[in-house]
Homo-oligomer: A and B are copies of this chain.
Amino acid sequence: MIRVSIIGSGNVAQHLIKVFSLNTDIELVQIFVRNKKTVLELISADKIFSNYKDFIPVDLVIIAVTDGAIELVYQELPFTSQLIVHTSGTFSLEVLKNKNRIGVFYPLQTFSKSKEVDFKTIPICIEAQNENDYKTLECVAHAISNSVHRINAKQRLSLHVAAVYVCNFTNYMYTIGNDICNLNNLSFEILKPLIQETANKIMLLSPAMAQTGPAIRKDTGTLKTHFDFLTNDNQKEIYKLLTKSIIDNGNKL
């Protein structure tokens, strides 16, 4: 049994608490949160703490808080010589002082509290300062996922940036699709098979091969009709920029 404690109560923290609670290779020892209510439904109350003075040494402490709070949380920790990781794609380890052994445990996924995920398929990107700690992280990652990767800081940042495009920006495209449907008395449901197929296609084809639509066909008549149809300035600006990008990119291929 690997003994793990978690600091945080956000989306990532909650999903980690759930998956570790169900895992027989991991013992979840303590959860540190500001407000105990946020995780009361996930774990028994006697494991929830708010004061680091109650800290019990473990094999691994996971700081699962927003990037802007990682350094602050780390500085507050009263203990030393523990293995402590954060879960951020972007935050640099170098900012943290070496009073503990530090590392990264970055699950490359989009987490919302109300949507369950299958951890087995989630790539876990790990980084440590020495091989022993790396092995510990590898054991914890393998306990919950079949996809474990040694990823250095620059690669991790590039993955996080790529994730912003393929996940956060993609979801914003869904938001615009939803808004256009609402404005025209259409159910967003009608777009869902298309959204699924768009994601499914690139499991088999490269994104360049999978590109369809008026921009890649340089169908100027349709592009103009669409642009004239849009009334929202922000949607127009996005339509213009991404159409130009697809055309320019197609010309390079």
Q: Which of A34-42, A47-55, A97-105, A192-200 forms part of the interface with chain B?
A: A192-200
Binary CB contact string for chain A from 47 to 90 against chain B (1 if under 8 A, 0 otherwise): 00000000000000000001110000000000000000000101
A contact face: mostly helix, strand, loop, or mixed: helix
Whether A21 sits at the interface, judged by CB under 8 Å, is: no
Q: Which of A1-9, A24-32, A130-138, A205-213 forms part of the interface with chain B?
A: A205-213
Give chain A interface residues in 125-180, CB to chain B under 8 Å. Answer: 147, 149, 151, 154-155, 157-178, 180
Q: B225 and A90: CB pair below 8 A?
A: yes
Number of copies: 2
Contact A165-B171, Cβ < 8 Å, known A198-B199, A221-B68: no
CB nearest to A216 among chain B residues = B168
How long is the Cα–Cα vector from A225 to B90 in the complex, in angstroms? 8
How long is the Cα–Cα vector from A172 to B195 in the complex, in angstroms? 13
Q: A197 and B234: CB pair below 8 A?
A: no
How long is the Cα–Cα vector from A209 to B183 in the complex, in angstroms? 19
Q: Which residues of B contact A161 (CB under 8 A)?
A: 180, 226, 229-230, 239
* Shortest beta-carbon distance from A61 to chain B in Å: 22
Contact A191-B108, Cβ < 8 Å, known A154-B184, A171-B211, A199-B196: yes
Contact A172-B238, Cβ < 8 Å, known A112-B212, A161-B226: no
Q: Which residues of B contact A168 (CB under 8 A)?
A: 211-216, 242, 246
How long is the Cα–Cα vector from A212 to B217 in the complex, in angstroms? 32
Contact A165-B159, Cβ < 8 Å, known A197-B117, A210-B112: no
Count of chain A residues with Cβ under 8 Å from any Cβ of B?
97
Q: Which residues of B contact A88 (CB under 8 A)?
A: 222
Interface centre among A163, A204, A237 (most CB of B within 10 A): A163
Q: B201 and A110: CB pair below 8 A?
A: yes
Contact A112-B205, Cβ < 8 Å, known A123-B190, A199-B195: yes
* Shortest beta-carbon distance from A25 to chain B in Å: 21
Q: Which residues of B contact A90 (CB under 8 A)?
A: 214, 222, 225-226
Q: A229 and B11: CB pair below 8 A?
A: no
**Ordered nearest first, which 5 A-B pairs have the shortest CB separation?**
A168-B213, A199-B199, A158-B184, A166-B177, A174-B207
